Structures are given as structure tokens and as C-alpha cells.
Structure 1
Amino acid sequence: MQRRSSESPEHIKKRSLAAARGRKHLHRRQRRAAAAAAPAKPLGGPRRRTRTFRRRIAVGGVGGSAGPAVDEAFWGASLSRSRRTMPGAALPSLLAWLAVLLLGRARPTDACSCSPIHPQQAFCNADVVIRAKAVSAKEVDSGNDIYGNPIKRIQYEVKQIKMFKGPDQDIEFIYTAPSTAVCGQPLDTGGKKEYLIAGKSEGDGKMHITLCDLVATWDSLSPTQKKSLNQRYQMGCECKISRCLSIPCFVSSSDECLWTDWAMEKIVGGRQAKHYACIKRSDGSCAWYRGMAPPKQEFLDIEDP
């Protein structure tokens, strides 16, 4: 006959819970002892084995030339450490560092920007317009800036063939900035290329040019452009040539000519740039004229209705 326990159900339940807590503490002490006896592991937990890519990435290269090479393994490891140690904080800082690297290494080819202008405008804005060859070049000092640093310029020795606008004295030297990044205009010094060069006079047989001035090889000019250099461009220097970017566009005054090459042909050196000049007529208005011959008196006497 089975003996009935004298303990109450509540007492039996408390004793079972105490036994379970005791087993839990025992297992915890056993795990601590095992961890203390095991060899020390590096901080940061077990490292995941990842495939390392040793492909090199070119950063900051322009025009086919590579900048500093960055190893993908470095970037992968950096990102992994960032996620483990500073989630959500290190990744933006890493991207910011990468942006600084790219800005520091990118070649400032776009630092000099020029608004397109019609060749006639470039002619009228210039102090000197010549046809010439560059025979030599060298870097020279041109004084100091406000911080006392020397200002470098490129000095081109040129052989003038013809002057279309400027002083009576021939131009012997042309100066420009040392790189296109600061609006320097390079010239071929082989002595074979003839240029049309428009720029600012510096006196004493010297002139200065920039990337925004009209500088073109003589062979690239149309016959109308070459003829217009003698007189026709000068006849319209009091006129205003306005660039039309999209159709429709309108003139704001009678002494204005609309330059529509970009709107009509999506190029700057289109038909109007190559074959037209904006001429001032006898009534003070301006209009496009096309042709190699000088404008006839009938054209100059035409009055707008």
C-alpha cells in the first residue's frame, strides 16, 4: 500500500523550483570554468572568413589616367570593423573621408568655365587679334600674389603673321596661366600651326590670353570668318549678339541679333558662327549678314518695318 506524502502541494512546488535554480547556477559555474581554461581569443569575437579581392580601384583618374589605387580588401575590412564597433556612425564618416579623397585627387579640369560667345563678340571684346605661330614656351615669374607667393605664367614667343586689331607694334610674346585649370590656353610650339589669337594687350609687344578668349587654328576657320576679320566684324561691334538657348526666343531691342546655333543645331560653332556677322545698319538697327563680300549699301540702308 503506497504511503501518502505528508507534504502539502505548495511545499512540493517550492522545493522543485529551488532544485531547478540550483541546477541552473551549477551549469553557469561550469561554463565559466570552461571559459577560463580555454585559450584566449582576440577581441572582437570570431572573425568571419571572407574572400579577399586584390583588385585595384582607380580613384580620381581623368581622361584614362588613374589616380591613387585603393585596395578593396582594405575597404571591406574597414566596413566590417565599422559595423561591429560603431554601427550607424562609422559608415558616414568613412564616406565623408572618401569624398575628401576624391575631391583632393580629382583634377580640376572644370575649374575654368567659359560661356560660349559668337566669334564676332570675341573679336569685339579683344584688345588684340592676330594671326601668328608659337615658336617657343617657358615658365616665368610674374610678380607675387597677396600672400607673397610667386605667380607663374607661360610665356610664348610668337611670330606674328598679320594683325587684324591692336597696336601698331607687332606682338612678340603671349602670356597665359600655367594650366587649363586656371584658364590657361596652351599653344603648339612646333612652329607649324598658325593660330587666330584674340586677347588683352599688355603693351610693349605683349598680350595675355585665357581659355575663354578666341584662340583657333587658322585652318579651322571658315572662309567667311577669315574675311570678316578684316572689316565686317568691326562694323557690328556696337551691336549686341544674344544667345538663344531654346525656341521661341525674341530680341529685346533693334540693335540685337539672335544667335540660334545652339537652339537649332545643338552646337556652338554652327551656321551663324561660321557664316554670319551681325552688322549695324544706317538706321541704327542690327541684322545678320551672310556672304564673303562686304555688305552692299542697299543692305545697310534697309529699315525694319
Structure 2
Amino acid sequence: MAAARRRPCPSAPRWGRGGRGRGRGPGPEGALPGPVRPRAQPSGGGGAGAPAPGHGRDARPAARGAELQPALASCHREEEPRRLKARLGGRERKTARGGGTARARAGAGALHAAALSPAARTMRAPAPGPRAWLALLLLLLAGAGRLARACSCSPVHPQQAFCNADLVIRAKAVSGKEVDSGNDIYGNPIKRIQYEIKQIKMFKGPDQDIEYIYTAPSSAVCGVSLDTSGKKEYLIAGKSEGNGKMHITLCDFIFPWESLSATQKKSLSQRYQMGCECKISRCPSIPCYVSSLDECLWTDWVTEKSINGQQAKHYACVKRSDGSCAWYRGVAPPKQEFLDIEDP
């Protein structure tokens, strides 16, 4: 069954001179569709046969037009979206014969017409307010906070690492596994990697041998990865946890033993300890200066673009008899002449 066709809105004819006429649009205010009934002409200068204004036949069309005016306005408002849809549909049918380029132009025109309509203007998204910008700023700050929690360490000279550590040992790892180490303040379990090690020599720390080393499970939180084959030896500096345990991070000095220079290996026994009262300051860029007499300037980064340069491999900052500190190079312990000299 064909769908019932909707009757169009009535359109009033244009009232004017001459007989019956049907205009395409609504006529003047108060106009009513139907035959034109010409006003009776008075004979002479207006006799008794001429109807008075607002009375008789001419009053009925005006009254009916005034009554129908709200209904006509409502009907035209309902018809406007259908007419727009019909026009757009006609354009689509024409562009189907014209090809893709015409279809694209018609689509753009339809979007433009829809954007200009009052309904589309009322449906546009409002501009972001202060609360929206504040929420975006909080999200960015939260992301920056997560990035800031990544592991970041300031480079230190091997002597500084030795002096800052609780324990310094030579050892090799024989096994490793993930273990629970209690809970955090929110009740979540804390995971750590436990390395079972075989200690070879203790350079700094208690007489008790270290059996286990603990570290974070990921390098993102400064965890250290050790070779557990039992064949690779390390110099390991870290913090004591008591009972034969220690904790290490990427910021501690963990270095393969075979990669250390002869001066570094000798300095672990006595020379680094002699300079723990001295201060080693890294020079990030030239110029840089010594701010006190007990300070040694570490310049490997500006001279070699490396933190493992000549001063790190072959020098120790040693305190002398006058209280000043100076770099000393050599495998042998510093001679008395060096310790007694007053100028660097």
C-alpha cells in the first residue's frame, strides 16, 4: 500500500484587481483562498448601498485570515526541513548523472547549507570553557609526573661512588629471581629481583660476607640486570640492608671487573678512602671553577665527552697535609712529597 501523501500547506492567492487567482505563496495578511469577490462600487459619491469598512462580505476574509495565520506559520515551519531535504535529494540525483566531481560539489554545498541553517547553528559544540582547559592542564601535569618518575642519575666519579656507598665488593651472580618485599603504603606488593651472589673480596663494609643483592624489577625504576651465569665478575657498590644483604640501583657504581683500569683497582684498597673528605665537582661546560680548596674539578665530560675518561680511570682526588685536595695519578700510593706540597 502506498504511503499516504501529506497535503501541502494551503497557500493564499494574491488579492488584487481582476478575477480568480491562485498565488504560489501566501498573500497579504488576512488573505483567504477562494474566489475574488470584488468590492461593490458605490454609485455617486458613496451612497447607502456601499458597505462600511469592516462590515459585510469584506470582513469575513480578513477575520478568517487572521484566525488561520498562526496555523499557516506553524505548517510552513514544519514543511521547511522537508523542502530542504527534497532539494538536497534532487541535487544528489543530478550529480549521480554528472559524475564524482559534481557529487563532491553537491555534497559540499549541502554541508554548507546545513551549516547555515538555524538548527545547525544551535547544534554546534560550545567553545571550551575554563574548566575544560583546567582539566587538560591537569592531564598534562599527570603525564609529566609519570615521566618524572623514570630513573635519572647524575654522573659521579668512581671515587665519589666508593665514598657514598655502604658496601663495595667484588662478586659474581649465580642466580636471580623475582620476590615479594612487603607492601607499599597502599597495600600493593613490592616486587624486587633477588640475586644470589658469590663474594670474592670486600673493599668497604663489614666483615660479614654478602649473600644476596636486591634491585628493582625494571631499569625504568633504576633496576640493575646482572649476568647470572656465574662467570662474569663485577665491582658492586650499594647500600647495606644487614644480615648479608645489600640493595643496588643504576645510580650506584656497578662495573664489570675486567673493564676497570689498574689505577681504579689499586685505588679501591686505600686511595679512594683517603680522598673521601674531598669534594669532586663535575664540570658540565667551560668555563668552570673550583669554589673551595678541598675541591677537585672533574673535566672528563668537557674534554672527552665521556664520564669514563682519563680522570675517572687514572686519577684520585687526594687530601694533602694543608687541607687542600688535588688530583693524583699513578698506581702507587701517593708519595710524601705530594702530600706535603702546598700548591696543586
TM-score past 0.5 threshold: yes
Q: Match of 1:223?
A: 262
Against the structure 1 CA distance between its residues 30 and 162, is the aligned structure 2 distance closer, same or farther, given a 3 Å change threshold? Answer: same
Matched, 1:36 2:82: yes
Instruction: Give the 5 Å matches for 1:138-287.
Output: 138-287=177-326
Structure 2 SS opposite 1:304: coil
Return the alpha-carbon distance in structure 1 between the equivalents of residues 148 and 257 of structure 2: 25
Aligned length: 245
**How much does 1:34 deviate?**
9.1
Measured in 2, the distance between the counterparts of 1:40 and 1:145 equals 67
> In the alignment, does 2:160 pair up with 1:114?
no
Q: 1:109 to 1:190 in 2, by over 3 A?
A: farther
Q: 1:302 to 1:88 in 2, by over 3 A?
A: same
- 2:338 paired with 1:299: yes
Which residue pairs with 1:128 in the alignment?
167
Who is 1:81 aligned against?
A: none
Q: Specify the code of the residue in structure 1 equivalent to 2:288.
A: C
Cα deviation digits, residues 132-162 of structure 1 (max 9, x gap): 1111111222222223332222111011111
Instruction: Give the Cα separation in 2 of the matches to 1:264 and 1:156.
Output: 37
Pair 220,37 (structure 1): closer, same or farther in 2 beyond 3 Å = same
| C-alpha distance after superposition, 1:31-89 (max 9, x if no partner) | 98696389799xxxx9x98xxxxxxxxxxxxxxxxxxxxxxxxxxxxxxxxxx942754
Cα contact 1:235–1:280 (8 A) shared by 2? yes
Letter in 2 for 1:136: S
How far the C-alpha of 1:263 sits from its partner, in A, is: 2.5
AA partner of residue 198 (structure 1): A
Question: How far apart in 1 are the matches of 2:77 and 2:322?
Answer: 105
CA distance in 1, matches of 2:231, 2:132: 53
Query: Quick one: distance in 1 between partners of 2:86 and 2:168?
Result: 81
Query: 1:189, CA displacement in angstroms?
Result: 1.4
Find the residue that maps to 1:124 and give its secondary structure: helix
Q: CA RMSD in A?
A: 3.9
Work out whether residues 281 and 300 of structure 1, in 8 Å CA contact, stay in contact via their aligned partners in 2.
Answer: yes
Bigger radius of gyration among the two: 2
**CA positional deviation for 1:292:** 1.4
Give the conservation status (yes or no) of the 8 Å contact 2:149–2:221.
no
1:224 to 1:35, Cα distance in 2 relative to 1, 3 A: same
CA contact (8 A) 1:109 1:181 kept: no
* Aligned partners of 1:128 and 1:200 also within 8 Å: yes
Higher relative contact order (CA 8 A, sep 6+): 1
Residue 33 and residue 198 in structure 1: after superposition, are their counterparts in 2 closer, same or farther (change >3 A)? closer
| 8 Å Cα contact 1:154-1:177 kept in structure 2 | yes
Give the drift of 1:231: 1.3
Distance 1:134 1:145 in 2: 28
Gaps of 5+ in 1: 1-14, 16-21, 50-83
Secondary structure at the aligned position of 2:264 is classed as helix
- Unaligned 5+ segments in structure 2 are 1-15, 17-22, 28-72, 93-102, 105-122
The residue type equivalent to 1:36 in the other structure is R
Shift of 1:114: 1.1
Q: CA deviation at 1:100?
A: 5.6
TM score, norm. by length of structure 1: 0.67
Shift of 1:165: 1.1
Q: Deviations over 1:111-130 (max 9, x none)?
A: 12111111100001111111
Q: 1:203 to 1:25 in 2, by over 3 A?
A: same
Query: Offset at 1:251?
Result: 1.6
| Deviates most, 266-275 or 30-39 | 30-39
